């Protein structure tokens, strides 16, 4: 199976077909323990650069946020009917650059600390997201902390959730520093002055899973995954959480034996004759469904659930473990990049499951929302650590084109989050306004 980003087909241009960008097929970032995984038989992610039909024009499904036109007066409650989809736009130059630096007193994981590891170019920090129909206000730490006073915000899922959490803590660092409270399966940060807690629950598959290979865990080893059983690591801890951010997606394309109702119902690349290969996206879909259903069924859960949509990777010039890297230093324009293939399916699958949960949630007074980062991030091939971010003992020859440098474009996720929380607070997103087509 060939996995490529096709560059434009124009025969006379410099970007001819001999310059294919090979994308990794599946990148499982086994955080903290194992760096990067790839299984070569899995479906192919594709970003078509300079694709003829920009993906988001055609398939964009995020609901518009009810958004104030004039945000300079924060004390005003927004009553305008102006709607703006803040997730649809372009990156524009912003010479002032980032909110914080690698010297800011906050935790920047070495693996995303691109400046510490000598990333030479700094232009990637000098862009801001400009929605097509309005402006995205700058992150305001005071405003954010006021909105979350007394609340608990939890990141559930994979390392990209941790990446966003650390970005948030750095964005808040100008106003407040949290106390670190670590537990075994989770991490908590407490802002005492605001009685605000940030928690992170490590659960990259969202559902219960364990090794099934007698030889133990390895790159292509089989795992049993119980698609209808939420992972207790988060499910037993979430009932009193006010805001849940679900962050998952990169881990679903390895070999799995799929279980439902305690029985094998199929697999993904198990190579067993009597077991149907249901594809990686089957397990992916069911895991999101189970996570959302778990939240819908928890008796005392009253929180807001936010799905952070699929975060694209940008390996070029080779597969992830064969010299693939991400050396670009500028964002793409919207017209230059198109999400399709495996990544598009990943995105749309999430959106479908979120929509179903949103509908069900409305009956029960529970809110499900989308932090729709995919369009913005597919345009940021320049935002990844590449070789500038790793544990000291790690093999530096493997580039990380999955996570995001800090500071960098991931800070925009929290600008989005602030606007979403603001709108929720003002009651401006209600069933009527957050339309799902």
Ligand X SMILES: *[C@@H]1O[C@H](CO)[C@@H](O)[C@H](O)[C@H]1NC(C)=O
Catalytic residues: 159, 400, 403
Return the number of the residue (195 or 220) whose C-beta is nearest ligand X: 195
Q: Quick one: which of 341, 307, 269, 284 has its CA closest to 59? A: 341
Residue 283 neighbours by CB under 8 Å, 6+ apart? 225, 227, 252, 256, 258, 268
CA 305 – CA 292 distance, rounded (Å)? 8
State the minimum distance, in angstroms, from the CB of residue 360 to ligand X: 26
Return the number of the residue (249 or 255) whose C-beta is nearest ligand X: 255
Residues 354-393 that bind ligand X (CB under 6 A): none
The DSSP result for 48-106, as a single string, is: EET-SS-HHHHH--PPPEE--S--S-TTSPP----EE-TTSEEEEE-TT--S--TTSSS
Is position 152 an interface residue for ligand X (rule: CB under 6 A)?
yes
State the minimum distance, in angstroms, from the CB of residue 206 to ligand X: 24
- From the list 52, 72, 215, 299, which residue makes contact with ligand X (rule: CB under 6 A)? 72
With beta carbons less than 8 A apart as the criterion, state whether 128 and 191 touch.
no
- From the list 102, 185, 187, 426, which residue makes contact with ligand X (rule: CB under 6 A)? 102
Is position 137 an interface residue for ligand X (rule: CB under 6 A)?
no
Of 72-80, 82-90, 279-287, 370-378, which part binds ligand X (CB under 6 A)? 72-80
Return the number of the residue (49 or 145) whose C-beta is nearest ligand X: 49
Is position 150 an interface residue for ligand X (rule: CB under 6 A)?
yes
Q: Quick one: which of 204, 115, 158, 141 has its CA closest to 385? A: 115
Find the Cα–Cα–Cα–Cα dihedral 403, 37, 248, 53, rounded to 10°. Answer: 70
State the minimum distance, in angstroms, from the CB of residue 269 to ligand X: 16
State the minimum distance, in angstroms, from the CB of residue 407 to ligand X: 11
Is position 397 an interface residue for ligand X (rule: CB under 6 A)?
yes
Q: H or E stretch including 178?
A: none
Residue 325 neighbours by CB under 8 Å, 6+ apart? 315, 316, 317, 318, 386, 387, 399, 401
State the minimum distance, in angstroms, from the CB of residue 355 to ligand X: 29
Return the number of the residue (268 or 357) whose C-beta is nearest ligand X: 268
Return the number of the residue (1 or 14) whose C-beta is nearest ligand X: 14
CA 158 – CA 206 distance, rounded (Å)? 9
CA 408 – CA 402 distance, rounded (Å)? 13
State the minimum distance, in angstroms, from the CB of residue 117 to ligand X: 8
A 10 A CB-CB count for 271 gives 10
Return the number of the residue (264 or 433) whose C-beta is nearest ligand X: 264
Return the number of the residue (192 or 431) whose C-beta is nearest ligand X: 192
Is position 264 an interface residue for ligand X (rule: CB under 6 A)?
yes
The C-alpha R_g of the chain, in whole angstroms, comes to 21
Provide the pairing of β-strand 89-93 with 127-131: antiparallel
Residues 185-214 that bind ligand X (CB under 6 A): 195
Return the number of the residue (150 or 216) whose C-beta is nearest ligand X: 150
Provide the pairing of β-strand 256-260 with 223-230: parallel
State the minimum distance, in angstroms, from the CB of residue 184 to ligand X: 21
CA 285 – CA 341 distance, rounded (Å)? 16
- 291: helix, strand or coil: helix
Is position 276 an interface residue for ligand X (rule: CB under 6 A)?
no
- From the list 141, 275, 278, 433, which residue makes contact with ligand X (rule: CB under 6 A)? 275
- From the list 271, 395, 430, 431, which residue makes contact with ligand X (rule: CB under 6 A)? 395
Is position 220 an interface residue for ligand X (rule: CB under 6 A)?
no
Is position 300 an interface residue for ligand X (rule: CB under 6 A)?
no
Is position 173 an interface residue for ligand X (rule: CB under 6 A)?
no
Strand ranges inside 95-220, DSSP E: 127-131, 152-157, 179-182, 186-191, 196-202, 207-211
Unique residue bearing structure tokens 């324009």: 333
Name the site residues for ligand X (rule: CB under 6 A).
Answer: 7-8, 15, 49-50, 70, 72-73, 75-76, 102-103, 115-116, 150-152, 195, 264, 274-275, 321, 336, 395, 397-398
């Amino acid at each position: 199976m060939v996995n490529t980003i096709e560059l434009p087909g124009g025969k006379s241009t410099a970007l001819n077909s001999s310059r294919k960008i090979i994308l990794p097929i599946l990148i499982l970032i086994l955080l903290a323990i194992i760096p990067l995984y790839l299984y070569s038989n899995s479906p192919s992610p594709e970003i078509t650069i300079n694709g003829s039909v920009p993906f988001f024009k055609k398939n964009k499904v995020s609901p518009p946020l009810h958004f104030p036109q004039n945000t300079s007066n924060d004390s005003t409650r927004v009553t305008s009917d102006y709607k703006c989809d803040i997730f649809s736009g372009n990156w524009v130059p912003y010479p002032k650059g980032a909110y914080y630096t690698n010297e800011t007193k906050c935790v920047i994981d070495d693996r995303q600390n691109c400046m510490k590891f000598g990333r030479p170019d700094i232009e990637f920090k000098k862009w801001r997201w400009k929605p097509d129909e309005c402006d995205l206000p700058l992150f305001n730490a005071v405003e954010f902390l006021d909105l979350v006073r007394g609340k608990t915000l939890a990141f559930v899922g994979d390392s990209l959730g941790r990446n966003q959490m650390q970005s948030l803590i750095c964005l808040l660092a100008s106003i407040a520093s949290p106390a670190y409270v670590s537990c075994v399966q989770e991490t908590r940060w407490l802002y005492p002055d605001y009685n605000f807690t940030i928690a992170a629950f490590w659960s990259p598959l969202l559902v219960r899973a364990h090794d099934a290979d007698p030889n133990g865990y390895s790159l292509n080893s089989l795992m049993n995954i119980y698609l209808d059983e939420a992972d207790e690591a988060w499910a037993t801890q979430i009932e009193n959480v006010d805001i849940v951010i679900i962050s998952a997606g990169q881990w679903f394309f390895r070999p799995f034996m799929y279980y439902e109702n305690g029985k094998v119902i199929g697999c993904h690349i198990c190579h067993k004759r009597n077991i149907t290969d249901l594809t990686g996206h089957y397990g992916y879909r069911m895991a999101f469904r189970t996570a959302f259903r778990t939240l819908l069924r928890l008796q005392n859960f009253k929180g807001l659930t936010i799905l952070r949509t699929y975060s694209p990777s940008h390996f070029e010039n080779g597969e992830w473990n064969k010299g693939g890297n991400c050396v670009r230093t500028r964002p793409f324009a919207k017209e230059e990049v198109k999400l399709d293939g495996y990544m598009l399916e990943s995105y749309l699958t999430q959106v479908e499951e979120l929509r179903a949960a949103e509908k069900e949630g409305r009956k029960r007074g529970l809110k499900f929302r989308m932090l729709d980062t995919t369009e913005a991030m597919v345009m940021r091939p320049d935002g990844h650590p590449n070789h500038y971010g790793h544990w000291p003992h790690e093999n530096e020859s493997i580039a990380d084109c999955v996570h995001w440098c800090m500071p960098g474009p991931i800070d925009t996720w929290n600008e989005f989050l602030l606007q979403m929380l603001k709108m929720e607070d003002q009651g401006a997103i209600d069933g009527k306004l957050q339309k799902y087509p």
